[in-house]
């Protein structure tokens, strides 16, 4: 029987932490959560944001090292969002998938930068973009500095129309990832933005029925207190961390709040869903260059019509 599903299973809309943070040990139990309250992002035109609890199902703050910022970043110049003309984007760095007919585009990352920039500087939010508004599960990831330290990563497994979904999660991942303080204006020039669209969801036959570097995985399990937990990593995480399948599963279990000893028998009880993603990444410099070809030009909002 073909186990592939075109879309993920229907479920309440919820957000998920997608990325691993390098730590000396995989066995650490530090975890994090957004809590259960509804929160309004100041200045956001989208109204109150959903309650965003990490799918890693956690209750504390993850143990992360302080971020190291890359040198040589020029200070940000305040820009008027009503001027300028669009320049074509070159192939952005960090594009994980180079096959034909991709839905994800660099302009989606530019739109996320637009949304964050307007929020931080108090401008009206940009007009709707021209790229497709089809619904997809999605994640927005912010990294910073020469070493691309994780600075925020939240998304949803519920398919959302891309225009509203990227606008919401650009801000949610930038301002509401409980592992980090909210992003600031001063950090903008150091940022990289990634957009991941999730596709090809499949029920795995067991916890090893997936491939490192190819599949993202989402696990469901019952913890030692009898509570159902979930956790996810995007396809690139295990490869970036140089983990094998067992290390990845065990890391997800710890992120998801499982504190008991992990045995092979317990791993066999995990329900695993594998998926793929289309991902594109651009830097702030590439974003600004695409808006007018210079780091000091205003970003373009008037091309969104």
DSSP letter string over 99-149? -SS-S--HHHHHHHHHHHHHHHHTPPPPPP-SS---EEEEEEEEEETTTTE
DSSP state of 286: H
pLDDT digits (tens, 9 = 90+) for 88-101: 444 434 444 444 68
In a domain, 224, yes or no: yes
More confident residue, 61 or 280: 280
Q: How confident is the model at residue 291 (pLDDT cuts 50, 70, 90)?
A: confident
pLDDT digits (tens, 9 = 90+) for 117-137: 999 999 998 989 999 999 999
Residue 99 CB neighbour total at 10 angstroms:
6
- pLDDT reported for residue 290: 87
In a domain, 277, yes or no: yes
Give the separation between CA 130 and CA 122, rounded to whole angstroms. 23
Lowest mean pLDDT among 96-100, 166-170, 211-215: 96-100
**pLDDT at 194 > cutoff 50:** yes
Q: Alpha helices, DSSP H only, in the chain?
A: 106-121, 162-175, 235-241, 245-255, 264-267, 284-292
pTM given for the model: 0.70
* Across 152-157, average pLDDT: 96
Q: Given the DSSP bridges, would you call strands 216-222 and 15-17 parallel, antiparallel or unpaired? A: unpaired
In a domain, 303, yes or no: no
**pLDDT at 86 > cutoff 60:** no
Give the separation between CA 128 and CA 204, rounded to whole angstroms. 37
In a domain, 145, yes or no: yes
In a domain, 39, yes or no: no
In a domain, 72, yes or no: no
In a domain, 221, yes or no: yes
More confident residue, 81 or 170: 170
Identify the domain containing residue 116 by its residue range: 102-293
pLDDT digits (tens, 9 = 90+) for 2-54: 443 333 333 334 455 666 544 333 333 333 323 222 333 333 333 333 333 33
Domains contained in the chain, number: 1
In a domain, 29, yes or no: no
């Amino acid at each position: 029987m073909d186990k592939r599903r075109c879309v993920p299973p229907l479920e309440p809309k919820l957000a998920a932490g997608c990325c691993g943070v390098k730590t000396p040990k995989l066995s650490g139990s530090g975890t994090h959560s957004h809590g259960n309250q509804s929160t309004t992002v100041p200045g956001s035109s989208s109204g109150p944001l959903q309650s965003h609890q990490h799918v890693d199902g956690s209750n504390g703050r993850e143990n992360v090292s302080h971020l190291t910022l890359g040198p040589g970043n020029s200070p940000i110049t305040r820009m008027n969002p009503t001027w300028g003309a669009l320049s074509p984007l070159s192939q952005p760095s960090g594009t994980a998938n180079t096959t034909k007919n991709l839905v994800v585009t660099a302009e989606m990352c530019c739109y996320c930068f637009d949304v964050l920039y307007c929020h931080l500087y108090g401008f009206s939010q940009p007009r709707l973009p021209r790229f497709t508004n089809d619904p997809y599960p999605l994640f927005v990831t912010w990294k910073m500095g020469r070493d691309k330290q994780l600075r925020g990563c939240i998304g949803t497994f519920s398919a959302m129309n891309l225009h509203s979904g990227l606008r919401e999660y650009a801000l949610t991942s930038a301002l509401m990832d409980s592992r980090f303080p909210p992003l600031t204006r001063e950090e903008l020039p150091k940022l990289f933005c990634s957009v991941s669209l999730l596709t090809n969801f499949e029920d795995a036959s067991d916890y090893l029925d997936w491939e490192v570097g190819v599949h993202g995985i989402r696990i469901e399990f019952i913890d030692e207190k009898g509570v159902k937990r979930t956790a996810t990593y995007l396809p690139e995480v295990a490869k970036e961390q140089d983990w094998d399948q067992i290390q990845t599963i065990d890391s997800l279990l710890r992120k998801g709040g499982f504190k008991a000893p992990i045995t092979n028998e317990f791993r066999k009880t995990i329900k695993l869903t594998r998926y793929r993603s289309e991902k594109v990444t651009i830097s702030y410099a590439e974003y600004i260059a695409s808006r007018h070809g210079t780091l000091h030009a205003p970003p373009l909002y008037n091309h969104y019509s």
